[in-house]
Amino acid sequence: MTTGSWLGLAHQGQGFGKELRQAALHLIFAGFDADLAVTRAWHDNAASLGVTRSLPYAETGTTVEDRRGRPDTMVGFAMTPGRWATIRRDDIGLVGIEAVREVLGNQR
């Protein structure tokens, strides 16, 4: 599963990005039993890279992609359930996940 997010400038630097990412990872691994979570960021997006690198993602390499009509470098990362287990938080829960899994065809 792939994650992506964007926070307005007024909300950056307050820990919301990391909270959001940890909640998304909880949904991906505890809720959907995914085998892998991936994310990407532009090489110069320090805030996004900071959130990603503060968690146990493994860097998977770079690709050159179009960015506003010019080639630029995107950095990829991946996390396995085992890596996520090292940072799993007990204060994040899932409510109604079975109904969501049913709608998405992702039943246990």
- For 45-91, how does the pLDDT look when each residue is reduced to its tens digit (9 = 90+)? 999 999 999 999 999 999 999 999 999 999 999 999 999 999 999 99
Residue 58 buriedness (CB in 10 A; 0-12 / 13-18 / 19+) = exposed
pLDDT at site 4: 84
Q: Are strands 58-67 and 37-42 parallel, antiparallel or unpaired?
A: unpaired
Distances (CA, A) of 71 to 36, 49, 63, 76: 28, 19, 10, 16
Choice among 7-11, 49-53, 104-108 with the minimum mean pLDDT: 104-108
Residue 3: which pLDDT band, with cuts at 50, 70 and 90?
confident
Distances (CA, A) of 6 to 17, 25, 49, 86, 96: 8, 16, 12, 25, 25
pLDDT at residue 43 is higher than 70: yes
Residue 108: which pLDDT band, with cuts at 50, 70 and 90?
low
Choice among 2-11, 20-29, 35-44 with the minimum mean pLDDT: 2-11
pLDDT at site 12: 87
CATH for the 2-104 domain, from 3.40.630.30, 3.90.1520.10, 3.40.50.1370, 3.40.30.10: 3.40.630.30
Residue 15 is which amino acid? G
